[in-house]
Amino acid sequence: MLLGLGSALVAALMYGVAAILQAIAAREIPQGGLTPRTVIDLLRRRMLLAAIALMMCGYVFHLIAVRHVPLFLAQAGIAVSLVVTALLAVRYFHDPLSRLEWAAITAVVVGLVLLSSAAGDTGTTRATSALTGSLFTVLFGMVVVALFAIRFHGSFAAAVLGLISGLGYAVVAIASRLLPDFEIGDLVTSASTYTLVIAGVLAFILYSLALQRGSITAATTAMISTQTVAPTVAGVVFLGDQVRDGFWPVAIFGFVLTAVAAAVLVRFEGVGATPSDDEEPVTT
C-alpha cells in the first residue's frame, strides 16, 4: 500500500510541474488540428519537451502505483498534481490562492487519507482479448469525436477535447494494469503495451489542442474528471479492485471529496495562459 500510494504522489509531483509547461507551450503555436504539422510545432517548443520528459518519468511511478493499489486510489493520488500546480503558481507566478482553494488543497489530502483507509485488495486481472478489444474501440471513438471537435474553438470545444483526452489517460491507467509481468518478450508481444502508448500520445496531443481552444477550466475539469472516474469504475467492475468490508461509504465520500476539490483547483493547470472563449470554426 505505501509503495503504491507513495509512487502515485511522486507521479503527481512530476505531472503537476509538467502541466504548467505543457499549457505554456500549447499557447505558443497557432491553433491547429489533429495533424503532423501541429505535432511538429509542439515538439519544437522546449517547454513541451521538458513537459514530455517529466510526464514520462512520472509515468514510471504511475505504473508502479496502478499495479500495487486499486485504481480508485492510484487515480485519486494523481489528482494531487493539481495541488502541486497550484502551489507552484503561488510561488513562481504570484497567483494567490483563495480560502476556497486552500480548503480544496486540504480536502484532497483528507480524501486520499479516507481512500487509503478504505482500499482493499488490488485486482489481479490481466489482459484478455475482450478487454483489449474494448480499449481499442474506445481509442477509435476518441479519434472520431476529436476530428469533429477540432473544427471549433471556445469552451465547448475545449471541454470535449479535454474529456476525450482524459479518456485517453484513463485508457493508459487501465492498460497499465492489464500489462503482463515485466519481461521484455511479454511486453513486446502484448497488445496492452501498444494500447497504452497510443492512448498516451493521443491524450497528450488532444489536451494540448484543448488548451488552445478555450477555457483552461473547461478543458482540465473534463480531463481530470474522466481520467479519475473511468479507471475507478473499470477497476472495481472489471479488474477486481476491492474496498474493505464496511468501508464503501468511506470510499465513496473520500473519492467524491477528492474529485470535487480537484475541480476547484483546475484553473492553475494553465496558469499564465489567456484562452479565447469565442466559439468559431477553426480553419485547418
For residue 26, the model assigns a pLDDT of: 66
Other residues' Cβ atoms within 10 Å of the Cβ of residue 195: 25
The DSSP-derived string for 197-216 is HHHHHHHHHHHHHHHHHS-H
Angstrom distance (rounded) from CA 185 to CA 276: 48
Q: How far is CA 5 from CA 66, 71, 77, in A?
A: 9, 11, 7
Say how far residue 229 (Cα) sits from the centre of its chain: 10
Q: How far is CA 140 from CA 16, 82, 135, 164, 198, in A?
A: 28, 29, 9, 11, 11
Angstrom distance (rounded) from CA 271 to CA 59: 23
Alpha helices in the chain, H assignment, sequence order: 2-26, 36-43, 46-68, 71-78, 80-92, 99-118, 129-149, 155-178, 184-189, 191-213, 216-237, 248-264
Angle at 98 between CA 94 and CA 101, to 5 degrees: 105
Angstrom distance (rounded) from CA 212 to CA 154: 9
Angstrom distance (rounded) from CA 219 to CA 144: 18
CB 203, CB 169: distance < 8 Å: yes
CB 60, CB 200: distance < 8 Å: no
pLDDT tens for the chain, 284 residues: list them: 789 999 999 999 998 888 778 767 766 666 555 566 666 766 777 878 888 899 899 999 999 999 999 999 999 988 888 888 788 777 766 778 889 999 999 999 999 999 999 999 988 877 678 888 899 999 999 999 999 998 887 888 888 999 999 999 999 999 999 888 777 877 888 888 999 999 999 998 898 888 778 777 778 788 888 988 899 999 999 888 999 999 999 999 999 999 899 888 877 765 555 444 444 444 44
For residue 275, the model assigns a pLDDT of: 46
Angstrom distance (rounded) from CA 225 to CA 218: 11
